[in-house]
Every structure is written in C-alpha cells, then in structure tokens.
C-alpha cells in the first residue's frame, strides 16, 4: 500500500468571535488559506483531485456544499471537486484521515484537507437552534436515542463537568492549566514560532496574522473572577476554549504525486485512528483512542516527541495527561485552544499545522494529535517528520 505524506499544512491566525475576521465570509476565509497552501507548495492547482473540507455548523453562509464554495472562492479551477464533512470538532482532522486513506489506496494522488468555521457569522449550533425557534422538528436526537441513554439532551458542557468531577480537578486546577496555555501561546507569538504556519488574511482593516485571543496579562486572580458556566460547577469561560473564526489546510499526497510534481514532504502520516464511546460523558474518548493508535502503530508513549490534545475544556487534556501518563512538557507546547481559540471545523488541520511546525523547529520526529468530539468520538493521527 502507498504511503500518505503531508507536503505542507497552514492556518489562519485565530480571530476572536466578533473580532478581526468578523467581516470575512467563511468561504473567503477558507479560500485564503487554500491559496496560501498553493503558493507555499507551488503545485499546479489543476492537479488537486479533491478538497475535503471540515465544517461543524453547516448553515447560513456555511451551507449548500460549503467545501465547494471554498474551492470556487479560491485560485483552484472549478474542475476541482469538494466535499464537506462533519465529525464535530474533529472534522478537519478527519479530512486529513480521509485524504490519507484516498492517496494510500491509490484512487487519488493529491488532495487538500481543510476546514473553515466562522463562529461570528454562523453561530455554534444555529443549524438546529433556529429550527427549534421556528417550531420545526424536535431536534437532532429522537426519543429512542434519549431513552436509551436516559438523558434529555447531549451536552458537551455537562460531559466536561462530569470529567472534571471524575478526575477530581478543582476550578483552581483548571484555571492553572488555562493560565499555562496563555503563557505558552504568548511566548510562542513573541518568539515568532507561528510565523511559518500562518497565512495572513486580508480584512477590511488590513492583514490579520496574529492570534488575537491570547491574554498576555492572564492571571489566576483574573480567572477567579469569571462566572461558572453552571451554578455549582467548576467550568468557566476562562478554562474553556474560545469561540473563534479561522481556517486551515493541508496538502496530502502519495509517493506518485511526490515524484510527478517534484515535491518534498514535511511528514509521513504513520497512523489513522478513530474510536467512539460514551456519548453522555462524550469528551473522554481521546484516552482510549490514544492507546489504540499507539498499539496499532507499534509505538510507545515515550516514543512520541510532541502531543497536540485539543483544549476544548482544560479538564480534557488534564484527564488525558493523568490517564496516559504523558509528559506535560511535550503537550501543547505552544499553547492550545484555551488561548489560541477553537474554530470548530478548522481545528483539526489547525492543530496539525502547529504540531508539524513545532516538531520541525525542534528537530523532533514523532507527533501525535488527538481531538475530543461531539457524540463521544475521538480521532488520533500520528505523524513522522521527514
């Protein structure tokens, strides 16, 4: 079977909700990063055989074959097809995995995996809340599903609180983790660590190229003043990921494409894993997925040089660290979604951009990325730098 390679992977800077990227249509946002990827790799745009686009809230400006809209807004010719996928927060990580499977099978040789999400212009969950407000339908879960699991709804906020309680994390513990995320992200920005992975986006106010959600003055005292998300709970907006506008993209190819287009890969994709478990607790599945991925890859935890574990809530990477025994100093070394933001469908390829560039900067070999996802699903992707 052929191998799958990452030639390059790039992202936009994260825009705060109603911030710097608020005036950019999400199709144009996705297209800008695709154009940056075409420029960085120098490939013939017509040689791209498919675009697989992750997007969670496929409504409004992100509706009607959103991936195709990204292509039509980009420098790609209209002969390039596209598809839009939703694996919740792992959508564009799954886009990478689908692209890898396609080029490994030999059915295609060159694919762009990407994601885009404007949480300003298409609010989270508006693809069903607007139906509810209009009195259309009964929501995404049938009575049979709710009865099976003994719940009235499935909530990531409830699941995250359950995980925090299960592992005994206090609000102060989670605030301390969140503070470290901001500190690491601030240090990364100040050192120029993100320069090679960010595509500047043209906005009405000029070029936007620096993540704007990072709090350089973050403190435990400041976080202590933030209200909890639920009465009696320990989760707050300060120890959870930020709603963010952003896009990201990766060029995935096989060896045939490397030779045909004289390309030099950054990394080889070594393992593709997806698992599913409890949809109520929902966000704990990266723990099991990581164990399965390492076993299938024939690797040990200590073999991995850097980890990217999405910071949907502080308790998610904290639980993952506690359960796996991974080294915190190898995990989210440039900060995570608490500081840099979580643009939902774009986060998978966004994390891959940060992981590959961090490995490259350190001269390291192995990287593992994992993402908790709605419905109790998790993706793990292991890469080997070349």
Q: How far apart are the first and last CA of the chain?
A: 19
User: Which residue's structure tokens are 């993952």?
Assistant: 320
Q: Is the dihedral of CA 315, 320, 325, 329 positive or negative?
A: negative
> How large is the average pLDDT for residues 243-259?
98
Q: pLDDT at position 1, please?
A: 72
Catalytic residue among 182, 270, 342, 357: 342
pLDDT in tens, 51-89: 999 999 999 999 999 999 999 999 999 999 999 999 999
- pLDDT number for residue 56: 98
Confidence of residue 216 (pLDDT cuts 50, 70, 90): very high
From 89, 114, 315, 357, active-site residue: 89
Give residue 283's pLDDT: 98
Active site residue 270: no
Q: What is the CA radius of gyration of the chain?
A: 20
290 Cβ neighbours under 8 A, 6+ residues apart? 320, 324, 368, 370, 380
Active-site residue, selected from the candidate residues 55, 114, 315, 372: 372
How far lies 177's CA from each of 13, 186, 236, 383, in Å?
Answer: 22, 14, 13, 26
- Contact (CB, 8 A) for 101 and 34: no
């Amino acid at each position: 079977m052929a191998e799958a390679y990452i030639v390059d992977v790039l992202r936009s800077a994260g825009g705060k909700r109603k911030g710097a990227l608020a005036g950019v249509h999400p199709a144009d946002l996705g297209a800008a990063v695709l154009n940056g990827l075409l420029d960085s790799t120098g490939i013939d745009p017509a040689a791209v055989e498919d675009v697989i686009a992750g997007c969670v809230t496929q409504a409004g400006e992100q509706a009607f074959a959103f991936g195709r809209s990204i292509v039509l807004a980009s420098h790609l010719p209209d002969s390039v097809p596209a598809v839009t996928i939703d694996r919740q927060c792992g959508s564009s990580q799954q886009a990478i995995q689908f692209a890898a499977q396609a080029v490994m099978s030999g059915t295609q040789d060159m694919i762009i995996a990407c994601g885009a999400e404007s949480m300003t212009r298409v609010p989270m969950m508006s693809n069903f809340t607007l139906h509810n407000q209009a009195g259309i339908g009964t929501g995404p879960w049938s009575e049979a599903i709710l009865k099976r699991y003994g719940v009235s709804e499935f909530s990531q906020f409830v699941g995250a609180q359950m995980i925090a309680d299960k592992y005994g994390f206090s609000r102060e513990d989670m605030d301390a983790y969140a503070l470290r995320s901001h500190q690491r992200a601030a240090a990364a920005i100040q050192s120029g660590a993100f320069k090679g992975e960010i595509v500047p986006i043209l906005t009405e106010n000029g070029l936007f190229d620096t993540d704007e959600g990072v709090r350089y003055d973050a403190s435990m005292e400041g976080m202590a003043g933030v209200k909890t998300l639920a009465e009696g709970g320990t989760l707050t907006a300060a120890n959870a990921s930020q709603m963010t506008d952003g896009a990201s993209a990766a060029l995935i190819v096989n060896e045939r494409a490397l030779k045909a287009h004289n390309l030099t890969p950054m990394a080889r994709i070594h393992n593709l894993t997806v698992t599913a478990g409890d949809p109520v607790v929902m966000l704990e599945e990266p723990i099991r997925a990581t164990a399965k991925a390492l076993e299938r890859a024939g690797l040990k935890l200590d073999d991995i040089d850097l980890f990217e574990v999405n910071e949907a809530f502080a308790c998610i990477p904290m639980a993952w660290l506690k359960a796996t025994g991974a080294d915190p100093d190898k995990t989210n070394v440039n900060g995570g979604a608490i500081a840099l933001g979580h643009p939902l469908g774009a986060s998978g390829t966004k994390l891959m951009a940060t992981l590959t560039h961090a490995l490259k900067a350190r001269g390291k070999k192995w990287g593992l990325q994992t993402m908790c996802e709605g419905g109790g699903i998790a993706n793990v992707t292991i890469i080997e730098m070349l």
